[in-house]
Amino acid sequence: MVGSAVGPSHPLRLGPVAMVTTDPLLGRLVDGRYEVLERVARGGMATVYRALDRRLDREVALKVMHPHLAEGAEANDFLSRFRREARAAAGLTHHGVVAVFDQGLDGETSYLTMEYVPGTNLRREIRNGGMTVRRAFAILEQVLAALSVAHRKGVVHRDIKPENVLITAESGQVKVADFGLARAVTEVTSTSTGTVLGTVAYLAPEVISTGRCDARADVYAVGILAFEMLTGRLPHPGDTPIQIAFAHVNNDVPRPSSLAPQLGPAVDDMVCSFAARNPDGRPMDAAAALEVLRGVRHSLPDGVLDSVVGDPAAAAAAAAASDGGPASGTVAPARGMPPTTAMPAVGGPAEGARQGTMPTTMLPGRPGPYYGTPGQHAAPGVYGQQPGYPGQAMVPADRRPAGLTAGGAPPETPRLDKKRATGTIVTAIVLLVLLIALFGWIRSQAVSTATVPDGLTGLPVAEAESRLEAVGLVVAKAEQHDATVAEGSVISTDPASGATLNEGETVELLVSLGVDLIEVPTGVVGKMQDAASRALQDAGFMLGTATSTNDDAIPEGQVMAVSGPEGAVEEGASLERGTTLTLTVSAGPPPVAVPQVVGTAVEVARKTLEDLGLRVEVIEEASNDHEAGHVVAQDPENSTQVRRGDPVTLLVSTGPVQVEVPSVVDLSREEARTALEAAGFVVEVEDWTFAFTGDKVGRQVPGAGETANEGSTVTIAGF
């Protein structure tokens, strides 16, 4: 009952946190995807970290459940509840709801990833002070708007408190976190330990006493939140959680005007109806409460709306300015609630203060009759509210015991000696216990029972409702998307078929909304793979392993097509949320093996390469080894793998090198040989001609000054 699902600093918001010990998760990669950057908060349910989603390159809040919640015999039950509640929370789409992205299990670590909201929370804004009534109403309106979306889908938050109301840094927008996540923890702890997990200062009386709740428990928490925001303090302060819980069960919420007189009766009635101890005295859900809130806000003058909470001078001025104004008018009724006239405040500040300090005594067993006056607690009749705890009747003045005052307090009596007083108290307690036991036995004999019929699952909701009403049971309905049960038919019942209930008890039907369809985002085809994957996952789809294919025109890494289980998927098509989609990604042009073209004519080589889709670049150079117009070398070389469109460079011969023949006439044979070889020629000597002329060269072919191919032969002779 006293555990909290969230610590003093909210998990989805970056804020200064004192680190005393090294956290083993810091710097770790959770599930191969989430890099833990920083611990943000630690509560009774989980530790929350700021993390980086490496796959989608975005910051997220990583909520890691405490290991002890998934230990022992209840481990499987907890994990299944945890996943179910995470799915329900992920189905809520509203700008005022912190989005749930993913949930998973990494070894023994159960985690959630949620939207990371930089900014502050309502707890800090209340502590900082300076909040106006107008600002308080604006925050309450956004909280109720978010809750109304959840209530329409059958999701109860169960842990509304200032730490779960986030306020963004840039726009001041309000976002509500941890939808439905307390339920799994509450169920497993109630089963194993008999405790109710929650934040005791905001728990409804029926949650404390029975552990069961519905949407009206969230409305109660909003009522406590409203009281705290409008007065600067909680309605039931206490030194220990058990004192606070006792006050919630046994004491009505004081009128806010007892602390802030400028608020007037309209605000008093609204807050007291939201926080009525009897659930039937509250608006049926957040949507009904939102109608009431808006009606009250429109009835308040600007002087009241602009007054600062906790500022006595401003409160007095606003109260004086609004005397006789619209604040004392009527309040528009919520859906399903009777029209109500705002009740006048009873007594001044002194009376309110005196009543606020009256001691409360709890006797064992059920509460006895309530003898107080309407002014002492919330006014009777406001939105169907009755004073006192559910089942506690208000005794009219003419039936009160003799000497009981109008305020419910008996006159002072002479003090008894200690032993006599103790004996009287013990006797009274014993008699009270016996009476309660007798009353319970008589009631159990008188109550008729009914059995939840078989075969309700799969029936149209109207037929299932008729069958339940025919056996004397009351029907409540919640809705949820389901891919296997037709829209408008029953998915399940709570309690299940065959359960025995008292006539008049409630059976909840979970009704199918059909398949949860979402649209394939436009513009995915043509994006690079990472951007397309992020767009599809943000829309609510799962991704399979991408396939790749070669394409000459589409760059490598760009998405070419999207396909689902039944084939190609068009952009804008409606598919079931969570459908696995596969991306077809371009691998660029296909690979090609470069052929051998060295030694071939350049035009033949060019055609061979271009037919394979390759680009040809030509460089010309003289070559003594290849005739003009033929390929001397190529880059890349033969058999190298390239892609179509890649370049291949060819070195093409322009023919042999031409060299000018030097003059060697009148040189000796050896001098001539040396000069010609130095010029790059091969020398042939006609030795027999030198027998008649001596050693001097008299003739050369080719002649001096002529050009010849480098490496060709020059002949020398004596004549």
Sheet strand arrangement including 174-176: 119-121, 165-168, 174-176
Pairing assessment for the beta strands 46-53 and 34-42 based on DSSP bridges: antiparallel
Q: 365-391 burial string, b = 16+ CB within 10 Å, else e? A: eeeeebbbbebbbbbebbbbbbbbbee
Residue 449 CA to residue 451 CA, distance in Å, equals 7
- The whole-angstrom separation of Cα 60 and Cα 688 is 101
DSSP code for 306: T
- Considering only CA atoms, which of 212, 346, 204, 353 is closest in space to residue 281? 204
Identify whether the C-beta of residue 334 lies closer than 8 Å to the C-beta of residue 343.
no
Are 267 and 256 a contacting pair, CB within 8 Å? Answer: yes
Q: Which of 47, 45, 41, 35 has its CA nearest to residue 15?
A: 41
d(CA 549, CA 57): 26
Amino acid 635 reads: D
Give SS3 for 113: strand
Element (H, E) at 543: strand 542-543
DSSP bridge partners of 635:
649
Per the annotation, the verdict on 695 as an active-site residue is no
Number of other CB atoms surrounding residue 341 within 10 Å: 14
Of the listed 31, 53, 77, 159, which one is catalytic? 159
Written as six digits, the tokens of 118 are 């930089």
Write the DSSP string, 608-633. HHHHTT-EEEEEEE--SSS-TTBEEE
Question: Cα(368)–Cα(391) distance, rounded to whole angstroms?
Answer: 9
What 3-state class would DSSP assign to 61? Answer: strand
Catalytic positions are 159
